[in-house]
Chains A and B, each alone.
Chain A
Amino acid sequence: IQLTQSPSLLSASVGDRVTLSCKGSQNINNYLAWYQQKLGEAPKLLIYNTNSLQTGIPSRFSGSGSGTDYTLTISSLQPEDVATYFCYQYNNGWTFGGGTKLELK
């Protein structure tokens, strides 16, 4: 399954509601996770099984979706959220998307 993330680059202001998209080439059956990767660091698990928040992750992060289309939402963007975000599916094999780079406007 191939994953396409959009947009590839997103500029937003502190406090904005931000939505990142991930589209699969086939049905993912909700076996989708989101990772946050800050510069020079390993990816960090934010969301798994489409909408389950990993322990310790702020509640401003949420996930939704079904079928082939999934979304990561940050309800109120904070400066520390500047990072690249990857979606990842584990329904059929294990593949990552190409990433969305989130920067401050």
Chain B
Amino acid sequence: QVQLKESGPGLVQPSETLSLTCTVSGFSLTSYSVSWVRQPSGKGPEWMGRMWYDGDTAYNSALKSRLSISRDTSKNQVFLKMNSLQTDDTGTYYCTRDPAAYYFDYWGQGVMVTVSS
């Protein structure tokens, strides 16, 4: 069955870089796109960026200067790196399966990231 699982540090220092990994199973990264979506506590989710099935990427314009998404298809993994973190980057980060850049049909369990010194 389709599964996605995020991993990474739960605490990041302000101005540091966040690195997260999404490990997928049950589908191929060369057939489906994967998006990263984050959600501050008590607020609506925010689409961050996408790794297209063909290896191309797309980013939320508000985050583009700080964000990088890459992948390793041999390991079924998609990576997120975001630099210059601030306290308002605190929240839960999800990776999602993203068929055809429309809606997100499967989500990982999420990883809570706190930006604090």
Contacts and interface: CB of A to CB of B under 8 A. Distances in A.
Interface of A: 31, 33, 42-45, 48, 54, 86, 88, 90, 93-99
A95 B104 CA distance: 12
A94 B44 contact: no
B108 interface: yes
Chain B interface, >50% SS class: loop
Contacts of A54: 105
Nearest to B48: A94
A99 B43 CA distance: 8
Interface of B: 35, 43-47, 94, 101-105, 107-110
B91 to A, nearest CB: 13
- For B44, B102, B107, B109, the residue with the greatest tally of chain A CB atoms inside 10 Å of its CB is B44
Say whether chain A's binding surface is mostly helix, strand, loop, or mixed: loop
A50 to B, nearest CB: 11
Contacts of A86: 44-45
Contacts of B45: 43, 86, 88, 96
